[in-house]
């Protein structure tokens, strides 16, 4: 009994010491344990806008920020390696898997795509009545078509869902462009189309997608003709690759222990002189303005907590409006997309005077009304298959 009491007391003292030490360190380092509503800036915007709070997973809704947040994720990931560690579970909705190429990836649940197709078709018809053409461009998913790179027998329906959607809307007369096929035909290897540690495509992939779409837009919609020659080739851009700098959104969640290496990050800058005015409308209605050239306006200066992907036009926002002050023509384009599209939109803004980027997941108003007000010459809708699971992306009115 005496030894038991002694053991209890020893642990009791250690317990009090540990919890007090963590409190003191947090007070000194963080100014307290801050209750932040999300670890992910995208989730921040979602919560701020009051949208989809039911869909934010319970686990991600609140994260107490302890000073060792990332270090803890890394340490935990090392622990998880011990039994196997080929995938790290985040929550039942967005499990993260490590595939045979070493990439971290989500998987997509099976969807019939009926309501999504109906919604896109209705939207296209509404736009047609306003005299605005619409093009649906299917973005690729990390698990490419025909690939079988998952370690386990896990049901992934990303490409099947996308195939179903394209088929249904094409049958209803909606213009479609399957970027999955286009990007596979490039000289790139399969894996580098996407980051290893982030759910999104590489900046270079977004650039290739931009070149393909620009060619199509010029050819089929007779837009951006004057600039297509100048900005429609990679010879007019400088690529700067920085190795081992980017720990993406998935890598941050699972910890570096479960990834082979962290990603390189590309910065692609046009050689030509540029001048932009960027207006970012935040979820609370406030508008952030930036002006300057490509490096000053389009590219946001990275901070230590920032996801590098957000250096292109900043973190996700409901609406970003880009005015290219060096373009004489009055062409306007609206890009409705998910968190993939920011670099794409940045490149596209070189070709039109006005570009509006809308994220329906964050925007609480009517996208159709936005189109009426903005009067674009073309509406581009671009989603990656993971976004199909979010109904908000198909709410246009």
Partner 1 sequence: MFFNSALFLFCFLPLALFVYYVLFRNVSTKPKNFLLLIISLVWFFMVDPILTGLLFVLTTFNIAFVRQLLAAKSKLLLLAGVLMNGIALLAYTLLPGLMKPFGIVMPYEAIPLVGILYFCHSLQLLLLSYRDDKAVHTAASSMALYLLFFPVYTAGPILSFPEFSKQAKDRSGGMADVSAGAKDFVIGLAKVIVLGQVLSFAPRTAFEALPNISARFGLMALALYLFQIYFEISGFCQMAKGTARMFGFCLPDSVDRPLLADTITGYFSRFHISVQRFINDVIMPRRKGGKKAAILGIFFFSILMSSFFGQSFGTLLFGLILFFMLLAEQWVISAFTVGNNRIANYLIHLVGFLPFLFIAAICLGSRDVPQLITFLKLLFGFGQGSENVTSGSMFMREYGPYYLAAAMAILPIGGILTKWRDRIPKLFGFLETIFLLALLVLCTLYLSGGDYLPFFAR
Q: Determine the longest span between alpha carbons in the chain, in angstroms.
A: 88
Q: Cα(116)–Cα(174) distance, rounded to whole angstroms?
A: 13
Q: Which of residues 134-153 bind partner 1 (CB under 8 A)?
A: 151-153
Total residues contacting partner 1 by CB under 8 A comes to: 60
CB of 63 vs partner 1, minimal distance in Å: 4
8 or 233: CB nearest partner 1 = 8
The nearer residue to partner 1, 6 or 219, going by C-beta atoms, is 6
Which has the closest alpha carbon to 319: 274, 291, 278?
Answer: 278
Residues 66-85 touching partner 1, rule: CB under 8 A, are 66, 68-69, 72-73, 75-76, 79-80, 82-85
Report the alpha-carbon distance of residue 365 to residue 205 in Å, rounded. Answer: 31
| Beta carbon of residue 331, minimum distance to partner 1 (angstroms, whole number) | 40
Q: In the complex, what is the shortest distance from the CB of residue 155 to partner 1, in angstroms, rounded to a whole number? A: 4
**Using the 8-state DSSP alphabet, how is residue 4 labeled?**
H
Give the residue ranges of DSSP H helices in the chain. Answer: 2-29, 41-49, 58-61, 69-81, 114-129, 158-171, 179-184, 203-221, 225-231, 249-254, 341-348, 367-374
Residue with tokens 């996208």: 367
Distances (CA, A) of 108 to 10, 70, 141, 387, 390: 49, 26, 9, 9, 11
Q: Least distance from C-beta 78 to partner 1, angstroms?
A: 10
Q: What is the dihedral of CA 350, 355, 361, 366, to 10 degrees?
A: -170
Asked if 173 interacts with partner 1 (CB under 8 A), we say no
Pick between residue 26 and residue 280 the one whose CB is nearest to partner 1.
26
The answer to whether 89 contacts partner 1 (rule: CB under 8 A) is yes
Q: SS3 for 160?
A: helix
Q: Which of 150/322 has CB closer to partner 1? A: 150
Residue 50 vs 173, nearer CB to partner 1: 50
Backbone angles phi, psi at 278, to 5 degrees: -110, 130
- One symbol per residue from 6 to 35: x for binding partner 1 (CB under 8 A), - otherwise; what is it? xxxxxxxxxxx-xxx-xx--x-----xx-x
Question: What's the half-sphere exposure (Cβ side, CA atoms, 13 Å) at 115?
Answer: 10
Say how many Å lie between the first and final Cα of the chain, rounded. Answer: 71
Between 58 and 328, CB nearer to partner 1: 58
Nearer to partner 1, 82 or 328 (CB): 82
Q: Provide, rounded to whole angstroms, the least separation between the CB of residue 58 and partner 1.
A: 4
Q: Indicate whether 91 belongs to the interface with partner 1 (CB under 8 A).
A: yes
Please give the residue ranges that form the binding site for partner 1 (CB under 8 A). Answer: 3-16, 18-20, 22-23, 26, 32-33, 35, 39, 58-60, 62-64, 66, 68-69, 72-73, 75-76, 79-80, 82-87, 89, 91-93, 95, 109-110, 151-157, 160
């Amino acid at each position: 009994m005496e030894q038991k009491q002694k053991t209890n007391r020893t642990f009791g003292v250690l317990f009090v010491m540990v919890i007090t030490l963590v409190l003191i360190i947090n007070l000194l380092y963080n100014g307290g344990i801050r209750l932040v509503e999300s670890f992910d800036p995208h989730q921040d915007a979602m919560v701020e806008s009051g949208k989809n709070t039911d869909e934010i997973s319970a686990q991600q809704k609140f994260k107490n920020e302890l000073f060792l947040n990332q270090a803890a994720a890394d340490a935990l990931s090392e622990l998880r390696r011990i039994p196997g560690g080929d995938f790290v579970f985040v929550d039942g909705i967005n499990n993260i898997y490590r595939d045979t190429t070493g990439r971290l990836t989500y998987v997509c649940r099976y969807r019939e795509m009926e309501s999504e197709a109906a919604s896109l078709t209705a939207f296209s018809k509404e736009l047609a009545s306003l005299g605005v053409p619409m093009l649906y461009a299917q973005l690729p998913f990390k698990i490419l078509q025909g690939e079988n790179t998952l370690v386990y027998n896990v049901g992934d329906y990303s490409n099947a869902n996308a195939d179903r959607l394209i088929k249904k809307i094409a049958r209803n007369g909606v213009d479609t462009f399957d970027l999955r096929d286009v990007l596979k035909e490039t000289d790139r290897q399969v894996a580098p189309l996407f980051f290893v540690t982030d759910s999104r495509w590489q900046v270079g992939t977004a650039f290739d997608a931009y070149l393909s779409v620009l060619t199509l837009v010029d050819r089929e919609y007779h837009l951006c003709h004057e600039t297509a020659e100048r900005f429609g080739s990679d010879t007019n851009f400088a690529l700067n690759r920085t190795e081992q700098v980017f720990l993406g959104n998935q890598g941050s969640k699972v910890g570096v222990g479960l990834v082979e290496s962290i990603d390189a990050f590309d910065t692609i800058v046009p050689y030509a002189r540029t001048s932009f005015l960027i207006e970012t409308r935040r979820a609370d209605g406030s508008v952030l303005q930036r002006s300057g050239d490509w490096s000053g306006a389009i590219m946001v200066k990275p901070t230590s907590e920032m996801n590098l992907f957000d250096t292109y036009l900043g973190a996700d926002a409901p609406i970003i409006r880009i005015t290219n002050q060096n373009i004489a023509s009055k062409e306007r384009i609206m890009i409705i997309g998910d968190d993939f599209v920011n670099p794409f939109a940045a490149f596209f803004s070189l070709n039109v005077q006005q570009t509006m980027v809308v994220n329906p997941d964050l925007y609480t108003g009517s996208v159709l009304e936005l189109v009426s007000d903005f009067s674009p010459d073309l509406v581009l809708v671009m989603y990656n298959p993971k976004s199909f699971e979010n109904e908000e992306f198909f709410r246009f009115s």
